[in-house]
Structure 1
C-alpha cells in the first residue's frame, strides 16, 4: 500500500509482479466541532471540508488498512481512517482525535487555521492477542493508541507522550514495544530530535484531563479552594485570551478540570499574563500578572464572579528595575498580599530575587531578598509562592532548562521575620527536589514547574506549564506530593 499524499490517492503495488494492481482516491470528509481560528482561544465551533491527503499507511489485515490524514496543500481532515482494499471507508475518526487532544491539554491552537494536530503516521501490531493502531500527532506531540478488535468501531485506549514532532512509528510486538521518532531539533529552545521507546499499559500520563471538552493548557499557577478540601484552581497565562480560572477535582485519578471562569473587566472578557493565583478565604481571587514590553506587572483583585475590582501596579522604583521576568507567584496571609518576582531586579545582585509584601489597607510595599541557586546553564528563578502558615512560605525554584540539561526543579520554604526594615535576605530550607519525579517516566523533562498548592485535605500538589505546545513538547504533569508542607 502506497499513499500519494498530495494527490489524495492510494495505490496497491504487487511486489511480486512489480506493478500497480489497484489505485483509488482517499476521498474527502466534512468535520464539525473543530477549532479553525488561530486566535489564542480553543473554540470547537468550526467546520472543515477537506481531502484526506494521507500520509502514513499500515495494513491491518489482507482486507483492511489504516491511514493518517495529515493533509497538505488543501488542508487536512485532522483524523485517521480505516479503508478496505477497494477504497471504501470503513471508519473515520472525524473530530474525535482532536477532541482527545483538547481533553489532554495537547491541542496546538496556533495550528487551528492550518491542519490542527496533523495526524502524521500509523503503525499496526498485536500485543497479547489484541490488535492496536498507533497514530502519531505531529503537532500535538503524542501517539494515540487504539484497540481495533472491531475495525468498524475502534476504541481509544491511551496517549503516549513523545518528544516534539513525532514522525516515525514502529511496533515491535515480540518485545511488547512501540518506537517513535521525533524530528524537531531546535537547540535554541532545548528541543532535540529523539527516539522514544514505550511499553503498552498505564503510565504517569495522563495526570490531569478535562471533562465536557473544557479547553486548557499553560497551567501557570495553583491555589487551594477555601472550604473545598479536594479542589484546586489554576489560571491560564498569556498564551490564551481571555484569562480563565479552572477548577480542578483532585479526588479523581487523573485529576479533572471540571469548571472554568472567565475573567472580565468592565463587563468584557480580559486577558492577563496570570502567572500567580490565590483563591481568597472571603471569596474572590488575587492574580499576579507578569509584565512584558509595554505591559506592567499588576496585582489584580477579582470578585467571586471573576470580575476585576482593582489593579495595583508596582512601586515606580521597582517597576523601573524589573525585567520581563516579573511576577510569578502570589499568596495571601496575615492580612497582606505577598508576591514573588521571578528574576533579580536590574539593581539587585543577580543571585537575589525579591519577595514582596503589599498592605491593601495602606498601599505600602515591603521587600525581602530570596537567594536563588546558581544554575549550571541558563538562569534560576522563582515560579510560585505559597503561604504555609502565618510566617512560613514555600516557593518553586527552577532553572529554564529542559530535557537532559534540566538541573534545578526544587521546592524550598523560608520564614519571614515578624518585622523588618530595609531589604533583608531570608534563609531557605530544601523541602523537595522534583527533578527525580520529572525524570521518572523517562520522557522529556519539563522545564516549567510553575504551580504549587496545599489543598484543604493537607495534600501538596505541583503542576507544569506546557507553553501551549509552542516551542515545547506540551506535556502537563500534575504531581501529587503527599503531605509535604
Structure 2
C-alpha cells in the first residue's frame, strides 16, 4: 500500500506551534548524565553507550543497556536535576534491550558467536541488589524485550540479524527470527514455560527470514511485532501465541526532501513508494499503535505512522517530522541520502489526561514531541537529546522523560554517551533557539554549521551569518531576525562566483560593508587547495573582489587560518584562529588590511594557555570603543574550560608591517560563555564561533553545530544584552 501525505512545508507552522506551546505545557531538559560516570576511574576513558532505557516502577531509578561494555547501567534519579551513578552490572554478553517489572529488570543478552549460530538469553536482575534471579536460554539472538501491563508475560523479539556485509546486506539470510513469550511470576520469567511463535511465511519480502525488531503489549495482552527488513507488522495473542493479524507496513510518497549526500541542503527532491521498514513500535491504546519508520535496507519513509491493529493507516506524518528537523538546523546531510533523518525510536505515555508520543531521530539527535488527539497528532516541540538518541521512557508520576543517547566519541576526544532528563512544566520550550522559515519557493530552508555572525549597520535585531565548508557545495549568507523568539532565519543567499556556487571556500567570518555587500573571511587549507583569502560580495552574494593573503603571511602558514572579520573605518581586521610558525607561544595574530592603501599589517593577541587540546580565536567584532574577540578551547563537555569573550581597546589596534616585530595587545575579559552553554542543561559544546553587536548595541552569540556530524546538532543562539 502507498500512503501519500505531504503538508506544504509544515515549517510555516513551526513558529505558530511554538507560540501556542508557550501557552501550554512543554518539556525542557533539566539534566544530562554522562554514563561513563558508571565506570571505575581507571576505565572512564573507555567507550560506553546508553541504548535502551527503562524506569523502575517508583520512577526513582533508570536502567540502560550498554552494548560496548557488555552490561547494564543504573542511574539514581531521586533528585532528577542531579542524576547520580548507581552501578554497573556485567552481563557476560551484549545486552540488547531492557524492561522493568516490579523490582526486577529483564534484559535480553546476545551471545551469538556468528550470524549463522545466533544465541542469547533473557536475564532477570534485582533492582535492589543487582543479583541475577533467573536466566532463560532463548535459542537465538534477542533484540527487543517488553513486559505486559499486568505483569503476566514477557515478550522477546528474536531477531537473528543478517550479516549486512553479505550479499549487499539483503534479507533472506537464515536462520529465521521468531517471537518468544515467557510467563512471569513475581517479575521472574519461567524459563521452562516459554512459547516460541514462528513468524515465517507472513511477509511478502523475504518471508522465509523474518527479522523481528521491536515488541510491545497493549492492555489486552496483545503483542505488536515489527519485522523491519520484511516491512511487516504482526499482532500476536500473548496467552495463546495465536497470530491475530499481520499486514505489510506499506510505503509512502514523499516530497520536499533531500535525497542526496552532496554537501548541500536541497529539499526539492521527492521519493515514490518509500518503504516504511519500521523499527520501534508502541501501542497508543488497545486498537492503535505508532511506528517509527527508520528504514534499514531499502526503506526511508522518514516519519512515523499510526496504524489500527486491523491494518488500516490512521495517520501518516510523511515529510512533516523531517521538515521540522530541517527548520531547527538538525538535518543530518552527511548521513542522509534516501533515509533522511531516520526516525528509529518511539515512546508513548500519559501524564494527567494527555497522552504524548515521542519520536526519536537518531541521525538528527532530536526527539519530536506530539500530543495524541485520537486523530492527527498535535506537534508540541523538538527536544535536543545528545548524540544519537536510541530510546526514551516517560515517567508519568513525576512528569519526567528520560532519553538514552548511544553515541560515544571518547576515542576522538568528543562528547560522551549521555542519559538526558526532561521535565514537563509551564515554561515555554527553551529549544530550539534559532529556526528557519520556509524559503521563497515554499520548500524547507536548510541550515547548519554557522561559523560567523555580523550585524546590519542600520537595523537593530537584523543579523547575518555564514556557514562553513561542511556545506562545501552551498556557501551561504543567512539573514536572521534576532528580535523573534526563537530567532528566525528568514532567507539564505548563496555565495556565488561567476553565477555559480563558489567553490574552495571555508567561510568563518562575515561583516557588512555598509553598502549592501559583505566581506567574508575564508579559512584556507593549502593541503586541500583552499586559499587563505578575504572575499567581497555584492548585495546579491556575487564575489566581486578577492584579497589573497600576502606571501609575508603565508610563508608562516599553518592549517588554522582566518576565523573572523570586522571592519573599522577603511580597515579590515581578521582574527587568525591559532598560532602560525612565527608566533610566540600562546599568541596569535590579528591581521589588518587597509582598503585605501592596500597595506597589510598585524598585531599579536595573547591567548590563554591550554591545559588540554588547544586554545584559539573564533571571532572578532566591532564595538563602540574597540573589538570583541571570542577565545575558546577545543574541549567539550566536562573538559571545556575556555569559552570567553574578550575586549581589546581601539587604541591597542596599531598594526605593524608583516615580518616586523608585532606589538602585543592587552585584553580584558568581558564574558565567560560557559554558563550560557550550560543553560539548556546539556553538555558544553566546543564551538562558540559567532558574536556581534547589533545597531542598538545588543550582543548576540551563536555556536557551530558541525552540520550534525558526530555532534548533538544543537545550535545555541542567545543574546548577551548591552556590554
Return the match for 1:368 from 600, 603, 608.
Answer: 603
Query: Residues 189 and 471 of structure 1 are in contact (CA less than 8 Å); yes or no, is this contact kept in structure 2?
Result: no
Correspondence for 2:509: 276
Give a deviation string over 1:178-208, Cα, whole Å, max 9, x none. Answer: 1110111121051221111111353421111
Correspondence for 1:184: 407
Correspondence for 2:628: 394
1:420 is displaced (CA, Å) by 5.4
Correspondence for 1:37: 260
Correspondence for 1:236: 467
Instruction: State whether structure 2 residue 301 is matched by structure 1 residue 77.
Output: yes
Question: Equivalent residues in 2 for 1:60-139 (5 A)?
Answer: 60-139=284-363
SS in 2 for 1:447: coil
Rounded Cα–Cα distance in structure 2 between residues aligned with 1:173 and 1:398: 40
Rounded Cα–Cα distance in structure 2 between residues aligned with 1:129 and 1:435: 39
Correspondence for 2:637: 403
Correspondence for 1:227: 458
1:282 is displaced (CA, Å) by 2.5
1:131 is displaced (CA, Å) by 1.2
Larger Rg: 2
Return the match for 1:161 from 384, 388, 391.
Answer: 384
Query: Could you list the runs of 5+ residues in structure 2 that have no partner in the other structure?
Result: 1-223, 439-443
Return the match for 1:469 from 669, 692, 708.
Answer: 708
Per the normalisation by structure 1, the TM-score is 0.97
1:440 is displaced (CA, Å) by 1.9
Give a deviation string over 1:34-62, Cα, whole Å, max 9, x none. Answer: 11011111111212222111100001001
Correspondence for 1:383: 618
Query: Residues 456 and 462 of structure 2 are in contact (CA less than 8 Å); yes or no, is this contact kept in structure 1?
Result: yes
Per the normalisation by structure 2, the TM-score is 0.65
Instruction: State whether structure 2 residue 525 is matched by structure 1 residue 301.
Output: no
Instruction: State whether structure 2 residue 431 is matched by structure 1 residue 205.
Output: yes
1:281 is displaced (CA, Å) by 1.5
Rounded Cα–Cα distance in structure 2 between residues aligned with 1:419 and 1:94: 58
Query: Residues 344 and 354 of structure 1 are in contact (CA less than 8 Å); yes or no, is this contact kept in structure 2?
Result: yes
Rounded Cα–Cα distance in structure 1 between residues aligned with 2:269 and 2:544: 34
Correspondence for 1:323: 558
Instruction: State whether structure 2 residue 515 is matched by structure 1 residue 285.
Output: no
Rounded Cα–Cα distance in structure 2 between residues aligned with 1:311 and 1:361: 15
SS in 2 for 1:181: strand
Task: Figure out how many residues of one structure are paired with residues of the other and give that number.
Answer: 482
Give a deviation string over 1:279-319, Cα, whole Å, max 9, x none. Answer: 11123110000001221210111112211111111121311
Residue 189 to residue 90, structure 1, CA distance change in 2 (3 Å): farther
SS in 2 for 1:321: coil
Rounded Cα–Cα distance in structure 1 between residues aligned with 2:228 and 2:585: 53
Query: Could you list the runs of 5+ residues in structure 1 that have no partner in the other structure?
Result: none
Correspondence for 2:167: none
Rounded Cα–Cα distance in structure 2 between residues aligned with 1:285 and 1:168: 44
Correspondence for 2:243: 20
Rounded Cα–Cα distance in structure 1 between residues aligned with 2:515 and 2:334: 38
Query: Residues 34 and 47 of structure 1 are in contact (CA less than 8 Å); yes or no, is this contact kept in structure 2?
Result: yes
Instruction: Pick which of 357-366 and 57-66 moved more.
Output: 357-366
1:441 is displaced (CA, Å) by 1.6
Return the match for 1:414 from 620, 624, 648.
Answer: 648
Instruction: State whether structure 2 residue 664 is matched by structure 1 residue 425.
Output: yes
Correspondence for 2:274: 50
1:418 is displaced (CA, Å) by 6.4
SS in 2 for 1:53: coil
